[in-house]
């Protein structure tokens, strides 16, 4: 296997910044959430020596896997959904727990107020 030392550069563009690259204006392009990327690969070194003969085709071919994550509801990446669910569960449980703690503390404070009133009457 031949290893190709390569630097990968990616620039992300808003549709409005692509005016200089467009040949014809696209209708409604400024009202989208889409982003565009330019991916550039640059050879960054010398090939790793190997005992196998190297032909020109194997030097030029580089396989690249680019995986784009689908968006749910038009803005939420799939990998974030478990995090969002965990935060939502923590908020729901936290609100319920805080409500119970608040009721408990209100009970204790009302008992302390009543006790303070009875002690004042005793003096």
- Work out how many domains the chain is built from and give that number: 2
Query: Does 41 lie in the same domain as 8?
Result: yes
Please check whether residues 29 and 78 belong to one and the same domain.
no
61 with 76, same domain? no
Specify the pLDDT at position 24.
58
Q: Bridge-partner residues for 7, per DSSP?
A: 42
Q: Are residues 82 and 59 in the same domain?
A: no
User: On the CB side of 6, how many CA atoms lie within 13 Å of its CA?
Assistant: 15
From residue 33, how far is each of 14, 18, 53, 70, 114 by CA, in Å?
8, 14, 48, 13, 60
Residues 58 and 1 in one domain: yes
Residues 59-116: tens digit of each pLDDT = 566 666 667 777 888 788 888 999 999 999 999 999 999 999 999 999 999 999 999 9
Same domain (yes/no): 63, 76: no
Same domain, 64 and 53: yes
By residue range, what is the domain housing residue 106? 71-123
Question: Domain boundary at 53, 68, 83, which?
Answer: 68
Q: Which of 68, 88, 104 is the last residue of a domain?
A: 68
Classify strands 6-13 and 71-72 as parallel, antiparallel or unpaired: unpaired
Residue range 13-36, pLDDT digits in tens: 777 776 666 665 555 555 566 777
The answer on pLDDT for 1 being more than 90 is: no
Q: Answer yes or no: do 46 and 79 share one domain.
A: no
Short-list 7, 5, 9, CA closest to 40: 9
6 and 20 co-located in one domain: yes
Residue 9 — pLDDT band, cuts 50, 70, 90? confident
Q: Model's pTM, two decimal places?
A: 0.46
CA distance 38 to 98: 49
- Helix, strand, coil shares of the chain, percent, nearest 5, are 45, 15, 35
């Amino acid at each position: 296997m031949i290893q190709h030392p390569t630097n990968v550069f990616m620039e992300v563009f808003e549709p409005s910044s692509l005016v200089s690259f467009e040949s014809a204006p696209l209708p409604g392009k400024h009202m989208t959430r889409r982003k565009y990327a330019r991916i550039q690969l640059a050879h960054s070194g010398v090939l790793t020596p190997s005992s196998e003969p190297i032909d020109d085709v194997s030097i030029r071919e580089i396989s690249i896997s680019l995986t784009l994550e689908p968006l749910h509801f038009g803005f939420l990446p799939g990998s974030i959904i478990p995090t969002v669910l965990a935060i939502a569960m923590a908020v729901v449980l936290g609100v319920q727990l805080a409500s119970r703690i608040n009721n408990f503390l209100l009970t204790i404070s009302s008992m302390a107020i009543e006790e303070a009133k009875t002690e004042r009457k005793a003096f």
